């Protein structure tokens, strides 16, 4: 039996009788194709369920990179009480009470002092030199496992250990920014003693020796992340740090599209960038993506699709309609249908709004040609102008056009539109 086949049974009502196996299968989510086809140690779910009842799970160690994290470290570690057996802090010179509060939160905390070297991957890989057995769960100090998900990581890892004891892969819990997006391809959990090592001074992920991404599986366990709250970013200078590390990676590997993508994404402020800066950034990203050789390792290509989305975003800012169409099409072909639809809609709506705005100006241009014989049509034109101005965001023209329509005996449809808006908006 293949792993994906058992998962399908586990997620199908009545597919597997109630058991610990079935309960824990519910925690395992989407798989990469290479893992979906992995062979299991048996083909009878009932036999697997009996064997799983007697399975002894491997040890789980939490690894936390710290430096002056006294405000968050205790809640981070306490939330892991049901999921990890011990904790390793890799501390880069904290000068506050980080270490003391960590030890107060958990008696099993070990501390490895490691001076900061501008390289997150280096520090994560240090854990692999000090942990030789079981699973390693990388958790940031500003991430807290949700209370209702306590115990899920241990259960999911125990199941994966039982079903796939000799297969190398990484595990992704979800990480949700407070007030922001959720990340599901986190690749934070891997086996000690496995072949994978993190690469990248920043935005680091594990890869095999050839630079390819490992097989992956998602689990239904979620961390809340407070590190991207605006006040935290400002206090810790994260934007400057990530931007500096991205630029350093780009300088070391100038032809790697991954670092070009991050260098632009992390350092360009769309709100203040000039038209020339936006177009220069677009040209840089586009050229690097186009020059990427077919068959290049994942370490180089893993952000290609995201780069297409960045190109769409830049093109929106400088009005590159053809560029938006090109890369929105590529996003759709890559299965990123929501992103593709968003940028296509932005492009088409911009065109439509522009045409509506032109009509608003066109109506104003014939106002001087009004005479008694066409006054009734001018009334209807001003009525249309008020509606078109509202639809195109020309709000300064809405009321004047409406008043001109009313003065000529029209405007009822505009009043009805506003009455309808007034009745709808309070319910939103």
Report if residue 307 sits inside a domain. Answer: yes
| Domain membership of residue 341 as a residue range | 237-349
Report if residue 75 sits inside a domain. Answer: yes
Name 205's bridge partners: 199
Name 183's bridge partners: 175
323 with 386, same domain: the answer is no
What whole-number distance in Å separates Cα of residue 397 and Cα of residue 195? 65
**End residue of a domain, out of 317, 349, 381:** 349
227 with 245, same domain: the answer is no
Backbone angles phi, psi at 136, to 5 degrees: -115, 125
Which pairing describes strands 170-177 and 135-138: parallel, antiparallel, or unpaired? unpaired
207 with 106, same domain: the answer is yes
Output the pLDDT for position 258: 92
Backbone angles phi, psi at 171, to 5 degrees: -120, 140
Of 349, 244, 346, 258, which Cα lies nearest the Cα of 307?
Answer: 258
**End residue of a domain, out of 183, 198, 231:** 231
202 with 133, same domain: the answer is yes
116 with 142, same domain: the answer is yes
Q: Which two tokens stand for residue 346?
A: 């932005």
83 with 151, same domain: the answer is yes
Helices and strands (DSSP H and E) totals, the chain: 19, 12
172 with 287, same domain: the answer is no
140 with 205, same domain: the answer is yes
* All residues at 6 or more sequence positions from 257 whose CB lies less than 8 Å from its CB, including other chains: 285, 288, 289, 292, 300, 301, 303, 304, 307
Output the pLDDT for position 415: 87
Report if residue 337 sits inside a domain. Answer: yes
**End residue of a domain, out of 231, 266, 294:** 231
Output the pLDDT for position 427: 61
CATH code of the domain in which 139 resides: 3.90.550.10
195 with 295, same domain: the answer is no
Report if residue 20 sits inside a domain. Answer: no
| Structural domains of the chain, count | 3
256 with 189, same domain: the answer is no
Output the pLDDT for position 104: 97
Start-end of H helices in 268-370: 275-290, 298-301, 304-318, 321-333, 337-365
Output the pLDDT for position 420: 84
Exposure b/e, 60-85, CB count within 10 A at least 16 = b: bbbbbbbbbbbbbbbbbbebbeebbe
219 with 243, same domain: the answer is no
What whole-number distance in Å separates Cα of residue 111 and Cα of residue 116? 15
Written as tens digits, the pLDDT of the chain (428 aa) is: 999 999 999 988 888 989 999 999 999 999 999 999 999 988 899 999 999 999 999 999 999 999 999 999 999 999 999 999 999 999 999 999 999 999 999 999 999 999 999 999 999 999 999 999 999 999 999 999 999 999 999 999 999 999 999 999 999 999 999 988 999 999 999 999 999 999 999 999 999 999 999 999 999 999 999 987 888 888 888 888 888 898 899 899 988 999 999 989 888 888 899 999 999 999 999 999 998 877 889 999 999 999 999 999 999 999 899 999 999 999 999 999 999 999 999 999 988 999 999 999 999 999 999 999 999 999 999 999 999 999 999 999 999 999 999 999 998 988 888 888 888 877 65
Report if residue 46 sits inside a domain. Answer: no
Backbone angles phi, psi at 62, to 5 degrees: -85, 135
Q: Is 33 left (phi over 0), alpha (psi -120 to 50) or beta?
A: alpha
83 with 204, same domain: the answer is yes
Q: Which two tokens stand for residue 323?
A: 């560029």
């Amino acid at each position: 039996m293949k792993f994906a086949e058992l998962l399908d049974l586990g997620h199908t009502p009545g597919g597997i009788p109630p058991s610990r196996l079935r309960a824990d299968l519910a925690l395992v989510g989407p798989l990469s194709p290479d893992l979906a086809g992995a062979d299991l140690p048996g083909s009878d779910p009932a036999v697997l369920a009996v064997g799983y009842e007697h399975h002894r799970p491997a040890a789980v160690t939490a690894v936390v990179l710290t430096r002056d994290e006294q405000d968050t470290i205790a809640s981070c570690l306490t939330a892991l009480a049901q999921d990890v057996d011990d904790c390793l802090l890799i501390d880069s010179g904290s000068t506050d009470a980080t270490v003391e509060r960590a030890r107060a939160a958990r008696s099993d905390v070990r501390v490895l002092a490691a001076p900061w070297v501008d390289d997150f991957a280096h520090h994560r890989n240090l854990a692999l030199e000090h942990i030789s057995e079981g699973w390693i769960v990388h958790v940031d100090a500003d991430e807290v496992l949700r209370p209702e998900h306590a115990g899920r990581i241990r259960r999911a890892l125990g199941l994966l250990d039982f079903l796939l004891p000799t297969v190398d892969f990484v595990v992704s819990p979800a990480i949700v920014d407070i007030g922001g997006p959720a990340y599901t391809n986190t690749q934070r959990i891997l086996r000690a003693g496995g072949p994978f090592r993190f690469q990248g001074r920043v935005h680091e992920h594990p890869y095999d020796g050839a630079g390819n991404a490992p097989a992956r599986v998602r689990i239904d366990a979620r961390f809340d992340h407070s590190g991207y709250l605006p006040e935290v970013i400002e206090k810790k200078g994260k934007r400057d740090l990530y931007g500096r590390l991205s630029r350093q990676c780009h300088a070391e590997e100038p032809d790697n599209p991954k670092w070009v993508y991050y260098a632009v994404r992390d350092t360009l402020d769309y709100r203040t960038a000039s038209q020339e800066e936006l177009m220069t950034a677009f040209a840089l990203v586009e050229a690097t993506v186009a020059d990427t050789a077919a068959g290049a390792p994942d370490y180089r290509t893993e952000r290609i699709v995201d780069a297409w989305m960045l190109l769409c975003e830049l093109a929106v800012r400088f009005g590159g309609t053809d560029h938006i169409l090109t890369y929105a099409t590529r996003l759709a072909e890559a299965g990123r249908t929501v992103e593709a639809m968003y940028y296509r809609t932005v492009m088409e709506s911009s065109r439509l709004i522009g045409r509506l705005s032109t009509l608003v100006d066109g109506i104003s241009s014939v106002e001087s040609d009004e005479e008694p014989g066409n006054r009734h049509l001018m009334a209807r034109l001003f009525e249309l102008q008020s509606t078109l101005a509202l639809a195109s965001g020309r709000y300064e023209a809405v009321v004047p056009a409406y008043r001109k329509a009313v003065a000529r005996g029209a405007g009822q449809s505009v009043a009805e539109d506003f009455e309808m808006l007034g009745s709808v908006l309070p319910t939103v």
